A and B are shown apart, each in its own frame.
Chain A
Amino acid sequence: MNEAWPLPAGCGELGDLVRNHDWAQTPLGPITGWPQCLIFAVSTVLLSPVPIVLLWGEDGIMIYNDAYSGFAGGRHPQLLGSKVREGWPEVADFNDNVMRVGLAGGTLSYRDQELTLHRYGRPEQVWMNLDYSPVFDAGGQPAGVIAIVVESTERVLTERRLRASEARFRTLTEGIPQLVWRAALDGSCIWSSPQWQAYTGQTDVTSLGWGWLQAVHPDDWATAQAAWREAAETGHLSYEHRLCNAPENRHCWFQTRAAAVRDAQGRIVEWLGTSTDIDDLRQLQERQQVMVAELQHRTRNLLGVVRSIAKQTMAQTGPGETFRERFNDRLSALSRVQGLLSRSDQEPITLRALIETELAALDAPTMQGRIRLDGPVVRLRKATVQTFALALHELATNALKYGAFTTPHGRLSVTWRTCASEDGPRLLVEWVEEGLVRERELECPVTRGGFGRELIERALPYALKAKTRYELGETALHCAIDLPLPAGEAVGSHA
């Protein structure tokens, strides 16, 4: 310990090391012979809490403080008193330049300078903020360089990770089909994704603040505002609303959800949200509701029809085998028409299909050669199909049991055509059986015409506003049905 040494108190661990170092072995010589300017510079360095190294003389003999010793890592304490070129051989060229500039009286400054150091025996990539300035001797000549060395490696790496994370976030938010946005506590927009802008036609500026609300359907503004008020209390945001699709100029349904972004104390700092297109889903649900309602309506109506048919069949046949047979036949006809109706969305029901279905149900393939069907494609409205099908069923059943198909030469011709009238287009159907034998009529348990005749002469006029004619002659049956053809019943080409 050199008693003459005038270092102030508070120079730390390095103060002691500097005092006790054998400086005689260095170009600086024994500490007692140091010039005043060196002593001032060393005192200043040792007292600073910032990592500083003093590079003295041509060789840059290193004298540094406690803070720098931490930065020097495994190099400390051997570094003290060594030449900078030897102390940091891996960055010798860099320091050569520092000494050259500094001893010429210049200063240097580097921000986040990237260097590879071997502080712990292995290469290590580091970043530093470096500031160099010259120290002058009593004669006004540069005698050394003061280097303030602040390592920024941790911050640089953190920033890089943050940038990578932000890039991933952006890739995600800009790649997913959802519209993504960030909002402040009250729901005012801070940022909107390119998808939001493409969808709504808003820009990154017009969507900000409460600008985003302009893209929401005005009828849903109250919903949106209520959802945001509730979110402030519950920490959850979820609501459905319509959003204007600018390119298509229409509103579609969206589901908007957001997660609260919280700080370390758990306080909400902002919201990260997505808006998902659920328009197709909503339309499907609505269609399904309509379908279920229609199905219920049809089913309950059908039960009413079945009850009525049972009652009327019973009134004609009385209880017994004939009732069972007749009633079952009519139930089967109703069942067939339900089948056609259930497929009618994909496959519109044509008059020809209805006639062919009823004739096929007779299960009399040998009759096919004796049947003639001819007419254009006429699509029937769903509401008319059931009554029409029941009428055709009665005609077909009667033809098999009592009419044209009971004789070897009987023939059936069903022809139809459409025509214009004062009240709009009409459909004319003619059902003609020839080659009948009247005696059979008298044998049949239920007079021909009973239920079938009621259908044609009363039900069709009632339900379909049809004008009908039912003429049973000695050898022929002539039934004509003339009904209006509303817009829903399209007429196609001849088939």
Chain B
Amino acid sequence: MTLPNQALTGRRVLLVEDDYFIGVDLKSWFEEGGAQVLGPVPSVTEALALIASTDQIDAAVLDINLQDELVYPVADALHARGVPFLFATGYDPAAVPAPHRAVALCQKPIDPQIVARTLFG
């Protein structure tokens, strides 16, 4: 968990996660790896607002189920800007609707190393 990942240094990573604890955990890990974290934010509205007001986003980690709303509008916004992202979720990959099937998916609890490798190779 604490291994710094060179690939993260200086990256601006958006985190969308409705659970406070998981959000804080993820944030601290990305920051330990040298990344600059945008968020975390717990809702679609806040995520879209953050995307709109931020010039540079290098990557994003999106929880799918945000307190009874789904994150897909955020995925669409990121896709439109060409920002790479992945889903971090408790759901099975089969639960992801067709337009978003191609997006990489990490099962919770998330292994930050895998997240970093998936986003930045």
Contacts and interface: CB of A to CB of B under 8 A. Distances in A.
Interface string A347-387: 00000000000000000000000000000000001011001
A305 interface: yes
A293 B67 contact: no
Interface string B83-109: 000000111100100000000000111
A312 B108 contact: no
A429 to B, nearest CB: 18
Nearest to A463: B20
A155 interface: no
B22 A458 contact: no
A305 B24 CA distance: 10
Given A383-B18, A462-B23, A463-B18, A293 B95 contact: yes
A301 B95 contact: no
Nearest to A462: B20
13 contacts: A297-B91, A301-B22, A301-B90, A303-B108, A304-B21, A305-B19, A308-B21, A308-B24, A311-B28, A381-B67, A387-B20, A462-B23, A462-B42
Contacts of A308: 21-22, 24-25
Contacts of B113: none
Interface residues of A, number: 25
A30 B90 CA distance: 113
B109 A300 contact: yes
A298 interface: yes
A341 to B, nearest CB: 14
A312 B92 contact: no
B18 A305 contact: no
B68 interface: yes
Contacts of A312: 21, 24
A309 interface: yes
Interface residues of B, number: 23
**Which 8 pairs across A and B sit closest by C-beta, in order of nearness?**
A300-B90, A297-B90, A308-B21, A459-B20, A308-B25, A300-B108, A304-B109, A383-B67
B36 interface: no
A383 B24 CA distance: 18
A298 B18 CA distance: 13
Interface in A305-346: 305, 307-309, 311-312
B4 to A, nearest CB: 17
Contact of A297 (B22, B89, B109): B89
A296 B65 CA distance: 12
A458 B25 contact: no
A299 interface: yes
Contacts of A304: 19, 21-22, 25, 108-110
Contact of B42 (A309, A381, A463, A488): A463
A298 B90 contact: yes
A251 B98 CA distance: 26
Interface of B: 18-25, 28, 40, 42, 65, 67-68, 89-92, 95, 107-110
Greatest chain A CB density within 10 A among B21, B22, B68, B89 is at B21
Contact of A296 (B19, B20, B90): B90
Contact of A293 (B18, B25, B42, B91): B91
A296 B92 CA distance: 8
Nearest to B65: A297
Greatest chain B CB density within 10 A among A303, A311, A463, A488 is at A463
Contacts of A458: 20
Contacts of B108: 300-301, 303-304
Interface in A213-241: none
Contacts of B40: 462
Given A293-B92, A307-B109, A381-B67, 18 more contacts: A296-B90, A297-B90, A297-B91, A300-B89, A300-B90, A300-B107, A300-B109, A304-B22, A304-B110, A308-B22, A308-B25, A309-B21, A311-B25, A459-B21, A463-B18, A463-B19, A463-B67, A488-B68
Contacts of B95: 293
Contacts of B28: 311
Greatest chain B CB density within 10 A among A299, A459, A488 is at A459
A459 B24 CA distance: 9
Contact of A381 (B68, B90, B107): B68
A305 B91 CA distance: 16
Nearest to A384: B67
Nearest to B108: A300
Contacts of A307: 25, 109
Contacts of A459: 20-21
A485 to B, nearest CB: 14
A142 to B, nearest CB: 94
Contacts of A293: 91-92, 95
A319 B96 CA distance: 40
Contacts of A297: 65, 89-91
A364 B79 CA distance: 55
A191 B23 CA distance: 64
A138 to B, nearest CB: 102
A381 B19 CA distance: 14
A36 to B, nearest CB: 100
Contacts of A381: 67-68
Contacts of B18: 383, 463
A463 B18 CA distance: 6
A452 to B, nearest CB: 13
Contact of A305 (B21, B89, B107): B21
A301 B19 contact: yes
A462 B23 CA distance: 10
